[in-house]
A and B are shown apart, each in its own frame.
Chain A
């Protein structure tokens, strides 16, 4: 079964608005990662947050991690049309194996 479960499943916003995506997981983790996938392409790593971290920033991205609630959120500020893509959270288990959530489809309208 999928470890990560994102919500919402689909999100449509206007350019310039912020986009918030949530992810929940079930077991203990070493770290949680967020990836982006443009249609028909491979995944691109966005940000990694370790289990002992609570918040991390990278450019317009802000990730939070609440291990007590087994949840994480990804915030994209000042969204752009180019941010349109699918976003996946993934937890890292043994042997670097990633378990992906179902993904969120983000559409940013120009």
Chain B
């Protein structure tokens, strides 16, 4: 079945550091990928839609300059949390559908802890 790989799974870094998270579709091409943020015991909140070959579409309230998204190829999207602060600590998850409106395949998430 379709697999989405997310890396790293866990990162701890100092305040002010920029952190890059990768999301790869391993056996299918993903023209669209999605990035979510999840707080403990809460649901997933869509942050942005990553589009191959064009700019990402951000949800209302998500800072574009804070969360940089680059869809570098048909199998790779990256989320960079710039100048991270403790309030950016969260669980970040990516997903991609094989086809439009079909079930999405999720990465295993990245737990980001900013000290």
Using a CB–CB cutoff of 8 Å, the interface residues on chain A facing chain B are 2, 30-31, 33, 35, 40-45, 48, 88, 92, 95-103, 105
The SS class assigned to the B binding surface is strand
Mark B residues whose CB is within 8 Å of A: 4, 6, 32, 34, 41-44, 46, 49, 91, 93, 95, 97, 100-109, 111
Q: Which residues of B contact A105 (CB under 8 A)?
A: 41
Given contacts A40-B111, A42-B95, A100-B43, list 8 more A-B pairs with CB under 8 A: A42-B109, A43-B44, A45-B105, A95-B49, A96-B101, A99-B46, A101-B43, A103-B43
Q: Which residue of B lies closest to A46 (CB)?
A: B103
Residue of A nearest to B105 (CB): A45
Query: Secondary structure at chain A's binding surface: helix, strand, loop or mixed?
Result: strand
**Nearest A residue to B59 by beta-carbon distance?**
A97
Per the bound structure, the CA–CA distance linking A30 and B100 in Å amounts to: 11
